[in-house]
Amino acid sequence: MTRRTIGIAMNGVTGRMGYRQHLMRSILALREQGGLELGDGTVLWPEPILVGRHAAKLEQIAVRHGLERWTTSLDEALAEPDVEVYFDAQVTSARVDAVRRAIDAGKHVYTEKPTAESLADALDLARAAEAAGVCAGVVQDKLFLPGLRKLRRLVESGFFGRILSVRGEFGYWVFEGDQQAAQRPSWNYRAEDGGGIVLDMFPHWRYVLDRLIAPVQSVYAHSATHIPVRYDESALRYDATADDAAYAILELEGGVVAQINSSWAVRVNREELVELQVDGTEGSAVAGLRACRAQHRTSTPKPVWDPDVPATEQFRSQWAEVPDNVEWGNAFRVEWELFLEHITLTPDAPFPYDLYEGAKGVQLAELALVSAREGRRVAVPELGTPS
């Protein structure tokens, strides 16, 4: 085995997602296992440089994990000769400028979503990466979750027959910050800082529906700011200017109808924080982050509506658990491995989850906000055509 070091400038690792999922559970986890073994006999050794605005926080993380390189200067990190990849997990409003600078510096780019606050900016980034000849990837972690990978297995096997509908429920109660500290950052609830559940979650729904079920063709959405006043990290009161809930009906190719509820103002009464139910002519399934339960047509019970007597059937017990059969691994790390292997072995080919795919997610969020504002169904055109 030949060891090859690859420098990665990681911007935004002081945030919860950047630190826990991308630094700790992906890059540092790869280092702990001795690197990433590639099929050509190479072991890829990721060497992170931590980038961010807060020097003290960066230094603290570096010391905690035995890392030597950190900086508050993005340009300094991009100028390091061994840095081949720029990763971005910053607040959305800071992403476009940083990613563009990395592209201009000739670095491969891997970024959290949404890739931008507008479709125009998202497409500009995709075109810039293409013109520069660098490889670009977007985090689409939900595709690599065990529950959704089991759901994909069912779809690809033809288990559902003709798929009729999808029903999705996502969300939980995010505390306002007064009696209990909020478990999400305050910028998520300020539109001026790139916050809002539509911009946060609809890019997820786009790639999940497109890749697992069928391409999205239209959206009808209603958004709301249910909690108008919140308290920030310093316990200071602020007005929430971004949507904290959205309710959407999406039409997919082939006549499939998807109903998706997203809310940070809902209390959980389901097995997992996100669940997708897919119903088809031959069977149905409910997938969460990790579990997936299915019910085939041949084992579907025949309930009869009778509101005058107590229900005796245990409906959830009538579904069968879809087994794991394999070790799935952390969803974020799985895609990191795919991206690092791709840029090392096939850097001239487009990455399947590229900036154009990221732009599709921004497009759906943008059109959902138009739908909510104007109270109408909005078609989702092919990228590059007028909306």
Same domain, 246 and 281: yes
The structure tokens 């013109």 sit at 131
Residues 256-275 have a mean pLDDT of 97
Q: What is the CATH number of the domain that holds 219?
A: 3.30.360.10
| 288 contacts 274 by C-beta, under 8 angstroms | yes
Task: Report the mean per-residue pLDDT for the chain.
Answer: 96
> The domain containing residue 173 runs over which residues?
142-328+365-372
Q: Is the pLDDT of residue 353 over 90?
A: yes
Please report whether residue 106 resides in a domain.
Answer: yes
Distance between CA atoms of residues 318 and 299, nearest Å: 8
Q: Are 103 and 132 in contact (CB under 8 A)?
A: yes
Please check whether residues 189 and 309 belong to one and the same domain: yes
Confidence of residue 1 (pLDDT cuts 50, 70, 90): confident
CA 51-57-63 angle, to 5 degrees, is 90
Domain co-membership, 264 together with 154: yes
Q: What is the pLDDT of residues 337-348, one digit of tens each?
A: 999 999 999 999
224-230 average pLDDT score: 98
Residue 381 counted as domain residue: no
Instruction: Examine the domain organization and report whether 85 and 200 are in the same domain.
Output: no
The whole-number pLDDT of residue 239 equals: 97
In a domain, 117, yes or no: yes
Structural element, H or E, at residue 100: helix 95-104
Report d(CA 323, CA 146) in Å as an integer. 10
Residue 384 has a pLDDT of: 65
**pLDDT at residue 385 tops 70:** no
Of all residues in the chain, what percent carry a pLDDT higher than 70? 99
Nearest-CA neighbor of 244 among 283, 187, 294?
187
Least confident of 238-242, 326-330, 359-363, 368-372: 326-330
**Res 387: pLDDT:** 43
Same domain, 270 and 186: yes
E strands, 27-107, are 36-37, 42-51, 70-71, 83-88
Q: Are residues 129 and 164 in the same domain?
A: no
Does 205 score more than 80 pLDDT? yes
For residues 98-117, b (16+ Cβ closer than 10 Å) or e, as one string? bbbebbebebbbbbbbbbbb
Q: pTM, whole model, 2 decimals?
A: 0.94
- Is position 45 within any domain? yes
Residue 290 has what pLDDT? 95
Burial per residue of 58-70, b for 16 or more beta-carbon CB atoms within 10 angstroms, e otherwise: beebbeeeebebb
The pLDDT value given to residue 97:
98
Average of per-residue pLDDT across 4-26: 96
Whether residue 221 is found in the same domain as residue 302:
yes
Cβ atoms of 106 and 183 closer than 8 Å: no
For residue 274, give both structure tokens: 């996100």
Q: With cut-offs at 50, 70 and 90, classify the pLDDT of residue 386.
A: very low
CATH code, 72: 3.40.50.720
Cα 161 to chain centroid, rounded:
28
359 found inside a domain: no
Tokens in use for 383? 């990228």
Question: Residue 78 and residue 84: Cα distance in Å, rounded?
Answer: 8
| Buried-state track 193-223, b at ≥16 Cβ within 10 A, e below 16 | bbbbbbbbbbbbbbbbbbbbbbebeebbbeb
| Number of domains composing the chain | 2
Tokens of 161: 């027959």
Query: pLDDT value at position 226?
Result: 98
- Tell me the one-letter amino acid at 229: V
pLDDT at 209 over 70: yes
Q: Would residue 382 count as lying in a domain?
A: no
Do residues 100 and 26 both lie within one domain?
Answer: yes
Both 232 and 166 in a single domain? yes
Look at 213-217, 287-291, 303-307 and tell me which has the smallest mean pLDDT. Answer: 303-307
In a domain, 103, yes or no: yes
Beta strands in 136-263 (DSSP E): 136-138, 163-171, 216-224, 229-231, 237-239, 245-252, 257-263
Whether 160 and 280 have beta carbons less than 8 Å apart is answered as yes
Whole-angstrom distance between the N-terminal and C-terminal Cα of the chain? 51
Find the mean pLDDT for residues 226-245: 97
- Determine contact, residues 244/194, Cβ cutoff 8 Å: no
One domain for residues 121 and 7: yes
74, pLDDT greater than 80 = yes
Taking residues 109-127, what's their average pLDDT?
97
Asked if residue 358 is part of any domain, the answer here is no
Same domain, 212 and 265: yes
DSSP 273: S
Q: State the CB neighbour count (10 A cutoff) for residue 87.
A: 29
The confidence band for 383, taking pLDDT boundaries of 50, 70 and 90, is confident
Per residue in 269-298, pLDDT (tens digit) is 999 999 999 999 999 999 999 999 999 999
165-184 pLDDT, tens per residue?
A: 999 999 999 999 999 999 99
| Average pLDDT rounded to a whole number, residues 108-119 | 97
User: Does residue 346 share a domain with residue 271?
Assistant: no
Does 142 have pLDDT greater than 80? yes
DSSP per position, 112-132: -S-S-SSHHHHHHHHHHHHHH
CA-based angle 151:153:157, to the nearest 5?
120
